[in-house]
Amino acid sequence: QVQLVESGGGLVQPGGSLRLSCTASAFTLNYTAIGWFRQAPGEDRDRKGVSCMTHWDGSTYYVDSVKGRFTISRDNAKNMVYLQMNSLKPEDTAVYYCITSPGTAQLMCNMGLVFGHWGQGTQVTVSA
C-alpha cells in the first residue's frame, strides 16, 4: 500500500524559503517517479505537477512558474523526498501534495500521470 505523508509547510513572507518533506514507504520508492502537486485556495488541485523526479535516472521536471526557485531532491536512505522552495511568491500559496507515478518525471508533471492515494498535504502560505 502506498503511504506518503507531507510536512514542512507554514506561513512565510514573500521572498522567503521553505522545505517540504514527503515521507515515503520503501515500497513507494519502487515507483518510477515521484513529485509534488498543489492546490491553491478556492481552486481544484492542479492537474499538472509543480516538480517531479524520475526514479532511475534522477531526471527532474519543473513547471515554468517555479523554475529556478524550487528544487526537488530525494534521500533514498531515509525514504524521503524534498521540495526546497526559495523566493516564494504569494501565488505559491497552496496545499502541496506528494504522489507517485508509473511514468517519467515529464509525464507525471506535464500530463498529470499519477498513481496512488492523495495524502492530507501540507499548507504553504506566502503572505506579508
What confidence tens digit (pLDDT) does each residue in 65-116 have?
A: 999 999 999 998 888 999 999 999 999 999 999 999 999 999 999 999 998 8
Q: In this structure, how many other beta carbons lie within 10 angstroms of the beta carbon of residue 23?
A: 16
Percentage of the chain modeled with pLDDT above 70: 95
pLDDT of 24: 80
* Rounded distance between C-alpha atoms, residue 123 and residue 7, angstroms: 8
* Rounded distance between C-alpha atoms, residue 44 and residue 1, angstroms: 25
pLDDT of 2: 63
pLDDT of 3: 78
* Rounded distance between C-alpha atoms, residue 16 and residue 45, angstroms: 23
pLDDT of 82: 97
pLDDT of 26: 63
pLDDT one-digit tens code per residue, 13-41: 999 999 999 998 766 656 889 999 999 99
Pairing of strands 10-12, 122-126: parallel
SS3 label, residue 87: coil
Of 91, 75, 76, 98, the C-alpha closest to 20 is 98
